[in-house]
Amino acid sequence: MERKLASIVTIDDLQPIVDADQIEVATVKGWKLVVKKGEFRINDHAVYCEIDSFLPVIEKFEFLRKTSYRKMAGQEGFRLKTIRLRGQVSQGLLLPISILEGYNYELGENVAERLGIVKYEPPMPAELAGVAKGNFPSFIFKTDEERIQNLTKEYESFKQHTFYVTEKLDGSSATFYLNEGIFGVCSRNLDLQESENNSFWQVARELDLEKKLTSLGKNLALQGELIGEGIQSNPYVVKGQVVRFFNVFDIDTQTYLPLPAFREIMESLDLQHVPILDESFKLPETTDALLALAEGTSVLSSAEREGIVIRSIDRQISFKVISNKFLLKERN
């Protein structure tokens, strides 16, 4: 699913902030944003830019320079992060619809390209970047669950399902596949050429993943998080680098294996999976309550965990819940 970094939204609510005369908090879908008081009204249309958006250096965004200026692969821009203003968590940026200069938009439309907005990608060490053999394979789904704040309309219907919950690890997404006899190793966005120095390929060789996948006699992909030295400041204090898996994807049926089958493969191949926190989870009454549950200490170390990933037992539903406490501590 394409992430809508900048989309046309309706402002659902506006509330005052205690002891703040010039700002107030707006609600858009499940997101809370601090805005200038009086700039918006409830039911107004606006452009909502999500956290991790990277806005271009142009005059209309210069007001972000003091707080948000960054460079990404040599390109200048403004990176949106979770911040706290006067005690209120604010996630993203709300822009008046006039920013589109008369463009005939549709509600919900992604206007990121029109505004020159791309996703911010933190610097990647050379040993992770590797050399691309091609783009991420089209026959495998990318590991990029939707955030719960974008699923407020679906949340009520989700409550009828039973889920399992895993810890979301703060690492680098890795995919290892065997398809029609061809073994491949991928980062989040690329199919990588084999290399002696590339961390993804080193882990693949250490775990003998090509042989293990071949032994299953199926076209499958293993997806997980690469963690350890040189990755996101190594919050789990791992020596070297390891991968913790969270998905087995059946390439032929284009489906994810349910939890029992996933665990069976992990055990049969002697591989480690991400921490499983709950195998019979029911959603709380509100998304705010769920966001509170995302906060906590990692199972793997004393670090603040990034959040949780919630998947239905039948694997028809999956989404992530990122800890606001974690996001407020982000450095990049």
Query: CA-CA distance, 227 to 246, in Å (whole number)?
Result: 13
Mean pLDDT score, 186-195: 93
- Each domain of the chain, given as residue ranges in start order, spans 6-119, 126-327
Residue owning tokens 């046309």: 8
Note the pLDDT of residue 332: 62
Query: CA-CA distance, 149 to 155, in Å (whole number)?
Result: 10
Note the pLDDT of residue 330: 78
Note the pLDDT of residue 2: 64
Note the pLDDT of residue 139: 97
The predicted-structure confidence for 60-109, as pLDDT tens digits, reads as follows 999 999 999 999 988 999 999 999 999 999 999 999 999 999 999 999 99
Q: Report the percent of the chain where pLDDT is more than 70.
A: 99
Q: Which amino acid is at 191?
A: D
Summary mean pLDDT of the chain: 95
Specify the range with the lowest mean pLDDT, choosing from 101-110, 118-127, 202-211, 247-256.
118-127
Taking domain 126-327, whether its CATH number is 3.30.470.30 is answered by: yes
Cβ atoms of residues 49 and 35 within 8 Å = no
Q: Which amino acid is at 55?
A: L
Query: CA-CA distance, 108 to 92, in Å (whole number)?
Result: 16
Binned at pLDDT 50, 70 and 90, residue 3 comes out as confident
The predicted-structure confidence for 99-137, as pLDDT tens digits, reads as follows 999 999 999 999 999 999 999 988 877 778 888 899 999
